C-alpha cells in the first residue's frame, strides 16, 4: 500500500489505462491513442513521458487531470481513483503547464498567477502575497512584472509565469506538456536548469511530456519511452535507458550516440581520479626530476604555494639542480571541477587537444587528474566506479598531448588525491 | 435657403424628436443585445444551432428595412411594436454573429489552460471567454447602434407618431421639398449617428487595457 | 392566411404586370438605377481601393471615409442631396437623382474597404517574388494581387450591391421608381396585398443580388486557393449598415 507522500508530493499510478478513439478502435497503431499503460510515479520525482508524435504521451498526461477520459483502466492519485472525483475540483489541485502557456491576455501577470487561488476562494491579500512570492521564485521581480500584461513579456518570461501560475496553490502534482518547447534553445536550457533547481527545493511529483530525448534524459528521474499507438516501451531511470535500451525502438529513439549521451549523466565526482607527480614552485628541482623519471607518466604537474596547478613540465625539461620556477610550466590541460559532466570534460579536453584534464576543487586546489581512458572506461556497460578506478590507474596516463601508452603501477606523489568524496 | 425662423419656432419639436430618436434606438439595441446574447451563448455551446441561426440572420440582413417595416404594419398596425421589431431584429442579426465570432476568437491554449486549472464551464465563460470576446462584442454594438440610429429615421414611414428626426425629413418632403425642415431632420440624425460611433470607439479602447499596454510597449 | 391569399392574389393579378406601375417596369427601374449607381461607385472606389492596398498609403484616410459612410442614415443622405440635385435637373432632381447620389455615396465604403484590405492582405512574399522577377508595379497589382484578393474585393461589391438595392427601395419614398413604390403606395392606400407583394418582390431582388454576386465571388476564387486547407476569404469589411438604414 503506497504511503502518503511526504511534504505534499503525490503518487500517481496508471493501471492498465487505455484510450482509443471511435474511428480508430480497430487499428491499434492509431496516433494519439494509449494502449494498456501501467506505471507508477513515486512521490517527489520527475517522470518524463517521451516518444515520437502520436505515441500518446500527451493523451496520457491529460488523462491525469481528466481533460481526456480513459476508455479503460484507472488512474490513481495517492491511492484514490480520480474518476470518482469532480473533475473541476481535481484540476484545482494539479498544476498544469502547457507549451503555449495560455496566459490570460486580459489579466495582469499578478492576476494570472493568482488564478487558482482565486478559484479556491483565497482572501485577496493572500492571493497577492502568494503571486509575488512565486514570481520571485521563478526569477521575475514582482514589482516589475506584477502589473504587466502577457503581451508585454518575452517567450521565456511567459514560460516562467506559466510555471509560477501552476505552483500557486502549492499542488502536490504538476503536469507539464512540452513546457519549454516554444522558446529558443538558449532560453530553454536556462529554463530547464532553473526548473531543476526549483524542483530540488520543492520536490513535487512532476509528469513531464516531451518529444526531445535529450530533455527527457536531462530532466527525468524516471523516463517512460512510448511508441506510436500508445505502447510503453521502457520505464526506467535515464542511465538505464541509455545503457540498456529494452528494445530496438528505444535504442533507435535514443539515438546512435547514446554512449555520448550517457556521458552527460555522469559527473567528474563519480569517477576515481588518478595520481600524478606534482611539485610546488620553489622546491628543489632535482628531487622532482628524480620522482618524475621514476613515474611512467613523463610529465610533472607544477603547483603554486596554495596547491593550485600552474602547468605541465615534461621530464626532459626539469633541471637537475636549483629550484623549480613557474616559467618552466606550460598550461595545456583544461581545469575541471567535481560537478563538470563527463561530456563537458571530454569536450574540453578535445578542444584543448589533450588527453588529460586537471580536476580542482572550488578554491582551485588540485584534486587529481582525469584521462580520456578513464572516461571511456566509465562508458562500458555495467561499469562500476571501483573497477574504473583500478582500470584507470593500471593504464598509463598518456602524455597530455600524445596518444595512449602502456601500463604501469600508480606512482607516488605529493599531492593529495581522492576518489569521489566531498 | 434656410428658414431660420422656422427653426427657431420648432426647437422643442426638434428636441422631442431627438429624444424620441435616442429612445427608440436605445430600446431596439438593448432588447436586441439581450436576445442575441442568449442566442449566441446557445450557438457557441451547441454548435449545430449555429448554421441555421447564421443562415436566417444572413437572409434577414439582406432584406431592405422598408420592406420589413411595411410588412409589419399589416400585422401589428401602427404601434411601437411595428417600429421596434425590425430594430431589434436587425440588431440581433449583427450581434449574434459578432458575439459568436468573439467567443471563437479566444485562443485555444487560453481555453485549455482555463480548463486545466479547474474553471467550471460558467467560470470559464464569464472570467475568461467573455472578457476576451469583448472587443468584438463592442465592435458589434457599435455597428448595431449606428445602424439602428439610421433605421429609426425610416420608422417615420409607419406613422407620424414615430420616426424620430426622420419625421422632419418625411414631413418636409411632403410639404413640397421644404428644405429647412428636411435638413432639420437629416443633419442632426447624421450627427447623432457619428456621435454614437465616436462614443463606441472610445469604449472599445477602454475595454481592452491589455491592447493598450502592448501598444505602449511597442512604442517604447 | 388571409394575408397570404391577398398577397398571392395581388401578385398573380395580370393588371400588376402591365403598365408603368406594373411589376416588370418597376423592376426595371430598380435594376436600372441600381446598376448605374453600382457602376459609378465601382469607378470611384475600386481604383482608389486597389491603389491604397498596393501602396499602403492613405489607408488611414480611407478607413476614416469608410467609417463615415458606414454611419450615415440613408434617408438623411437622400434628403441632403435634394437641394443639390434639384439644381441639376428640377424634375429628376427631386426624385431619382438624390436617391442615385445616396446610393453611390453609401456603396463606396464597402467597395473601398474590401478593395484595400483584400490587396493589403495578399502575402507580401508573393509581391516580393514578383518584383524580384522584374514585374512592374502595375503588373504585380493586376497579375498577383488582384487575382488573389478577388474574392475579398467581390465580397465588398456584394455588400455594396445589396446596400444599393435597399437604398433604391427607400428612394420610392421620394418619388423615385422601383419596387419600393409598392411598399409606399401600398401603405398609403392601405392595400395589404400590394404591401406584401412589394415585400416579396423587394426581398426577392435583394436575396437574388446577394446570391448572384456571392456566386461570382466563389467562382472568382482561383482553384489553387480553394481546397480543404485554405480558409475562405473572411468578410473583411464590417457588414454594411443595415439595408435602408
Backbone angles phi, psi at C34, to 5 degrees: -60, -45
Helix (H) or strand (E) holding C102: helix C96-120
Task: List, in order, residues 6 or more apart from C231 with CB less than 8 Å away.
Answer: none
CATH topology classification for A268-394: CBS-domain (3.10.580)
**Three-class DSSP category at A122:** coil
Boundaries of every domain in chain A = 6-257, 268-394
Buried b (16+ CB within 10 A) or exposed e, A60-72: bbbbbbbbbebee
Least confident of A14-23, A279-288, A299-308: A14-23
* Chain A residues closer than 8 Å to B208 by CB: 106
Pairing of strands A222-227, A231-236: antiparallel
Backbone angles phi, psi at A297, to 5 degrees: -85, 120
* C245 pLDDT more than 80: no
* C229 pLDDT more than 50: no
Q: In 10 A of CB C190, how many CB atoms?
A: 10
Q: Dihedral sign, CA of B199, B201, B206, B208?
A: positive
Rounded CA separation A163/A156 (Å): 11
Q: Is position B190 within any domain?
A: yes
Which of residues C45 and A28 earns the better pLDDT score?
C45
Q: Is position B87 within any domain?
A: yes
All cell numbers assigned to B36: 442575441
Q: Is position B220 within any domain?
A: no
pLDDT of residue A409: 35
Distance from CA of B13 to the nearest CA of C (A): 18
Give yes or no for a contact between C59 and B135, defined as CB atoms under 8 angstroms apart.
no
Cα A248 from chain centroid (whole Å): 24
Pick B193's closest partner by Cβ from C3, C73, C180: C73
Rounded CA separation A274/A271 (Å): 9
How far CA A105 is from CA of A140, B128, B158, in Å, comes to 18, 9, 48
Give partners of A (≥3 CB pairs < 8 A).
B
Q: Do B194 and C71 touch (CB under 8 A)?
A: yes
Boundaries of every domain in chain C = 2-225
Asked if B116 has any chain A CB less than 8 Å from its own CB, the reply is yes
Q: Do A88 and B113 touch (CB under 8 A)?
A: no
Q: Do C207 and B63 touch (CB under 8 A)?
A: yes
pLDDT of residue B194: 94
- Which residues in chain B (50-79) have CB-CB distances under 8 A to chain C? 59, 61-68, 70-71, 73-75
Rounded CA separation B33/B39 (Å): 10
Backbone angles phi, psi at A38, to 5 degrees: -135, 120
Rounded CA separation A213/A220 (Å): 10
Q: In 10 A of CB C64, how many CB atoms?
A: 10
Count of pairs with CB atoms under 8 A, one residue in A, one in B: 76
Q: What is the pLDDT of residues C139-198, one digit of tens each?
A: 888 888 888 888 889 999 999 999 999 999 999 998 888 899 999 998 888 888 888 889
Rounded CA separation A238/A240 (Å): 5
pLDDT of residue C228: 46
Q: Do C206 and B63 touch (CB under 8 A)?
A: yes
The whole-number average pLDDT for the span A31-58 is 90
Q: What is the pLDDT of residues A84-134, one digit of tens each?
A: 999 888 998 999 998 888 888 888 999 999 988 988 889 999 999 999 999
- Per the prediction, chain C carries an average pLDDT of 84
Rounded CA separation A270/A249 (Å): 30
**Three-class DSSP category at A19:** strand
The whole-number average pLDDT for the span A131-141 is 92
- Which residues in chain C (66-85) have CB-CB distances under 8 A to chain B? 67-68, 70-77, 79-80, 82-83
Distance from CA of B61 to the nearest CA of C (A): 7
Pick A119's closest partner by Cβ from B110, B118, B211: B118
Nearest CA in chain C to B93: C242
pTM given for the model = 0.72
Q: Do A103 and B120 touch (CB under 8 A)?
A: no
Tell me which residue of A221, A232, A225, A291 sits closest to A254, measured CA to CA: A225
Q: Do B117 and A116 touch (CB under 8 A)?
A: yes
Distance from CA of B171 to the nearest CA of C (A): 11
Rounded CA separation A286/B24 (Å): 111
Rounded CA separation A342/A265 (Å): 8
Rounded CA separation B98/A406 (Å): 82
pLDDT of residue C112: 93
Distance from CA of A158 to the nearest CA of B (A): 13
Distance from CA of B110 to the nearest CA of C (A): 22
Which of residues A406 and A144 earns the better pLDDT score?
A144
Give yes or no for a contact between A117 and A125, defined as CB atoms under 8 angstroms apart.
no
Which of residues C170 and A28 earns the better pLDDT score?
C170
| Residues of chain B below pLDDT 70 | 212-220
Report the phi/psi class of residue B84: left, alpha or beta, with left for phi > 0 and alpha for psi in -120 to 50. alpha
Q: Is position B148 within any domain?
A: yes
DSSP E strand stretches across A270-365? 278-280, 299-303, 309-314, 335-336, 356-360
Tell me which residue of C13, C9, C10, C21 sits closest to C172, measured CA to CA: C21
3-state SS of chain C? CHHHHHHHHHHHCHHHHCCCCCHHHHHHHHHHHHHHHHHHHHHHHHHHHHHHHHHCCCHHHHHHHHHHHHHCCHHHHHHHHHHHHHHHCCCHHHCHHHHHHHHHHHHHHHHHHHHHHHHHCCCHHHHHHHHHCCCCHHHHHHHHHHHHHHHHHHHHHHHHHHHHHHHHHHHHHHCCCCCHHHHHHHHHCCCHHHHHHHHHHHHHHHHHHHHHHHHHHHHHCCHHHCCCCCCCCCCCCCCCCCCCC
Give yes or no for a contact between A172 and A4, defined as CB atoms under 8 angstroms apart.
no
Q: Do C239 and B146 touch (CB under 8 A)?
A: no
Rounded CA separation A230/A58 (Å): 10
All cell numbers assigned to B164: 424620430
Give yes or no for a contact between A254 and A357, defined as CB atoms under 8 angstroms apart.
no
* pLDDT interval class at C234 (50, 70, 90): very low
Asked if A65 has any chain B CB less than 8 Å from its own CB, the reply is yes
Domain count, chain B: 1
With respect to CATH, is domain A6-257 assigned 3.40.50.300? Answer: yes
Residue keyed to cell 465570432: B101
CATH of the domain at B83: 1.10.3720.10
pLDDT of residue A404: 36
**Three-class DSSP category at A25:** coil
Asked if B94 has any chain C CB less than 8 Å from its own CB, the reply is yes
Which of residues A235 and C61 earns the better pLDDT score?
A235
Q: Do B70 and C242 touch (CB under 8 A)?
A: no
Q: Is position B153 within any domain?
A: yes
Architecture of the domain delimited by C2-225 = Orthogonal Bundle (1.10)
Asked if C192 has any chain B CB less than 8 Å from its own CB, the reply is yes
Backbone angles phi, psi at A235, to 5 degrees: -135, 105
Rounded CA separation A36/A16 (Å): 4
How far CA C91 is from CA of B69, C82, C221, in Å, comes to 29, 11, 44
Q: In 10 A of CB A58, how many CB atoms?
A: 23
Q: Do C202 and B64 touch (CB under 8 A)?
A: yes
Q: Is position B121 within any domain?
A: yes
pLDDT of residue B213: 65
Pick A92's closest partner by Cβ from B111, B113, B117: B117
The whole-number average pLDDT for the span A366-372 is 90
Q: What is the pLDDT of residues A374-396, one digit of tens each?
A: 888 877 765 554 444 444 454 44
Pick B109's closest partner by Cβ from A65, A102, A107: A102
All cell numbers assigned to C230: 485554405
Least confident of A48-57, A151-160, A171-180, A375-384: A375-384
Rounded CA separation A111/A122 (Å): 13
- Per the prediction, chain A carries an average pLDDT of 83
Q: Do A105 and B132 touch (CB under 8 A)?
A: yes
Amino acid at each position: 500500500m503506497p504511503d502518503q507522500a511526504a511534504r505534499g508530493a503525490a503518487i500517481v499510478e496508471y493501471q492498465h489505462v487505455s484510450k482509443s478513439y471511435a474511428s480508430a478502435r480497430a487499428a491499434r497503431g492509431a496516433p494519439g491513442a494509449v494502449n494498456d499503460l501501467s506505471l507508477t510515479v513515486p512521490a517527489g520525482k520527475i517522470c518524463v513521458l517521451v516518444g515520437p508524435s502520436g505515441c500518446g504521451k500527451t493523451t496520457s498526461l491529460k488523462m491525469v487531470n481528466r481533460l481526456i477520459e480513459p476508455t479503460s483502466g484507472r488512474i490513481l492519485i495517492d491511492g484514490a481513483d480520480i474518476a470518482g472525483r469532480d473533475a473541476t475540483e481535481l484540476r484545482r489541485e494539479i498544476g498544469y503547464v502547457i507549451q503555449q502557456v495560455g496566459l490570460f491576455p486580459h489579466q495582469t501577470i499578478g492576476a494570472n498567477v493568482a488564478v487558482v487561488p482565486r478559484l479556491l476562494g483565497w482572501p485577496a491579500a493572500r492571493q497577492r502575497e502568494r503571486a509575488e512570492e512565486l514570481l520571485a521564485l521563478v526569477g521575475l521581480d514582482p514589482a516589475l512584472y506584477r502589473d504587466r500584461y502577457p503581451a508585454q513579456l518575452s517567450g521565456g518570461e511567459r514560460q516562467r509565469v506559466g510555471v509560477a501560475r501552476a505552483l500557486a496553490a502549492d499542488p502536490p502534482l504538476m503536469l507539464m506538456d512540452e513546457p519549454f518547447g516554444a522558446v529558443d534553445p538558449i532560453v530553454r536550457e536556462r529554463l530547464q536548469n532553473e526548473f531543476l533547481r526549483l524542483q530540488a527545493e520543492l520536490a513535487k511529483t512532476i509528469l513531464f511530456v516531451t518529444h526531445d530525448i535529450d530533455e527527457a534524459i536531462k530532466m527525468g528521474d524516471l523516463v517512460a519511452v512510448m511508441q506510436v499507438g500508445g505502447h510503453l516501451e521502457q520505464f526506467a531511470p535515464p542511465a538505464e535507458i541509455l545503457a540498456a535500451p529494452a528494445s530496438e525502438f528505444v535504442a533507435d529513439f535514443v539515438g546512435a550516440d547514446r554512449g555520448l549521451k550517457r556521458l552527460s549523466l555522469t559527473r567528474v565526482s563519480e569517477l576515481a581520479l588518478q595520481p600524478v607527480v606534482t611539485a610546488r614552485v620553489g622546491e628543489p628541482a632535482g628531487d622532482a626530476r628524480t620522482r618524475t623519471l621514476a613515474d611512467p607518466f613523463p610529465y610533472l604537474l607544477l603547483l603554486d604555494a596554495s596547491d593550485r596547478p600552474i602547468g605541465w613540465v615534461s621530464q626532459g625539461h626539469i633541471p637537475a639542480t636549483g629550484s623549480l620556477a613557474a616559467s618552466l610550466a606550460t598550461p595545456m590541460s583544461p581545469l575541471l571541477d567535481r560537478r563538470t559532466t563527463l561530456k563537458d570534460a571530454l569536450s574540453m579536453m578535445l578542444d584543448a587537444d589533450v588527453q588529460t584534464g586537471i580536476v580542482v576543487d572550488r578554491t582551485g586546489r588540485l584534486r587529481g587528474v582525469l584521462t580520456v581512458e578513464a572516461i571511456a572506461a566509465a562508458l562500458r556497460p555495467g561499469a562500476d566506479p571501483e573497477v574504473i578506478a583500478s582500470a584507470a590507474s593500471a593504464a598509463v596516463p598518456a602524455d597530455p598531448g600524445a596518444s595512449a601508452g602502456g601500463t604501469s603501477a600508480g606512482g607516488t606523489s605529493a599531492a593529495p588525491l581522492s576518489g569521489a568524496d566531498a | 435657403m434656410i428658414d431660420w425662423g422656422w427653426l427657431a419656432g420648432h426647437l422643442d419639436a426638434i428636441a422631442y424628436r431627438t429624444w424620441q430618436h435616442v429612445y427608440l434606438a436605445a430600446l431596439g439595441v438593448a432588447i436586441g443585445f439581450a436576445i442575441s446574447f442568449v442566442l449566441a451563448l446557445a450557438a457557441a455551446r451547441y454548435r449545430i444551432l449555429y448554421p441555421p441561426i447564421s443562415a436566417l440572420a444572413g437572409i434577414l440582413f439582406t432584406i431592405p428595412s422598408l420592406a420589413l417595416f411595411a410588412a409589419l404594419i399589416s400585422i401589428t398596425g401602427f404601434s411601437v411594436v411595428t417600429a421596434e421589431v425590425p430594430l431589434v431584429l436587425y440588431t440581433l442579426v449583427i450581434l449574434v454573429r459578432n458575439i459568436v465570432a468573439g467567443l471563437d476568437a479566444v485562443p485555444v491554449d487560453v481555453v485549455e489552460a482555463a480548463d486545466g486549472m479547474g474553471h467550471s464551464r460558467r467560470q470559464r465563460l464569464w472570467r475568461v471567454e467573455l472578457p476576451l470576446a469583448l472587443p468584438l462584442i463592442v465592435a458589434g454594438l457599435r455597428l448595431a447602434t449606428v445602424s439602428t440610429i439610421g433605421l429609426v429615421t425610416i420608422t417615420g414611414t409607419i406613422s407620424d407618431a414615430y420616426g424620430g428626426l426622420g419625421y422632419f425629413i418625411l414631413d418636409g418632403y411632403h410639404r413640397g421639398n421644404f428644405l429647412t425642415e428636411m435638413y432639420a431632420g437629416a443633419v442632426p440624425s447624421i450627427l447623432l449617428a457619428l456621435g454614437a460611433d465616436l462614443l463606441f470607439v472610445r469604449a472599445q479602447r477602454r475595454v481592452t487595457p491589455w491592447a493598450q499596454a502592448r501598444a505602449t510597449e511597442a512604442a517604447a | 392566411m388571409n394575408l397570404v391569399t391577398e398577397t398571392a392574389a395581388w401578385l398573380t393579378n395580370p393588371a400588376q404586370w402591365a403598365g408603368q406601375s406594373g411589376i416588370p417596369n418597376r423592376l426595371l427601374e430598380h435594376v436600372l438605377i441600381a446598376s448605374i449607381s453600382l457602376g459609378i461607385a465601382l469607378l470611384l472606389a475600386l481604383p482608389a481601393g486597389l491603389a491604397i492596398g498596393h501602396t499602403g498609403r492613405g489607408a488611414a484616410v480611407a478607413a476614416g471615409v469608410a467609417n463615415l459612410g458606414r454611419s450615415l442614415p440613408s434617408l438623411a443622405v437622400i434628403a441632403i442631396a435634394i437641394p443639390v440635385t434639384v439644381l441639376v435637373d428640377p424634375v429628376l432632381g427631386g426624385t431619382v437623382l438624390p436617391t442615385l447620389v445616396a446610393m453611390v455615396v453609401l456603396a463606396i465604403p464597402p467597395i473601398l474597404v474590401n478593395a484595400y484590405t483584400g490587396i493589403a492582405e495578399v502575402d507580401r512574399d508573393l509581391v516580393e517574388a514578383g518584383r524580384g522577377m522584374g514585374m512592374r508595379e502595375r503588373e504585380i497589382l493586376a497579375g498577383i494581387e488582384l487575382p488573389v484578393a478577388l474574392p475579398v474585393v467581390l465580397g465588398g461589391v456584394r455588400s455594396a450591391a445589396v446596400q444599393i438595392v435597399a437604398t433604391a427601395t427607400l428612394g420610392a419614398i421620394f418619388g423615385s421608381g422601383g419596387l419600393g413604390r409598392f411598399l409606399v403606395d401600398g401603405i398609403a392606400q392601405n392595400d395589404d396585398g400590394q404591401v406584401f407583394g412589394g415585400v416579396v418582390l423587394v426581398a426577392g431582388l435583394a436575396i437574388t443580388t446577394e446570391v448572384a454576386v456571392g456566386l461570382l465571388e466563389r467562382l472568382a476564387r482561383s482553384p489553387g486557393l480553394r481546397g480543404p486547407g485554405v480558409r475562405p476569404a473572411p468578410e473583411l469589411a464590417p457588414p454594411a449598415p443595415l439595408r435602408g438604414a
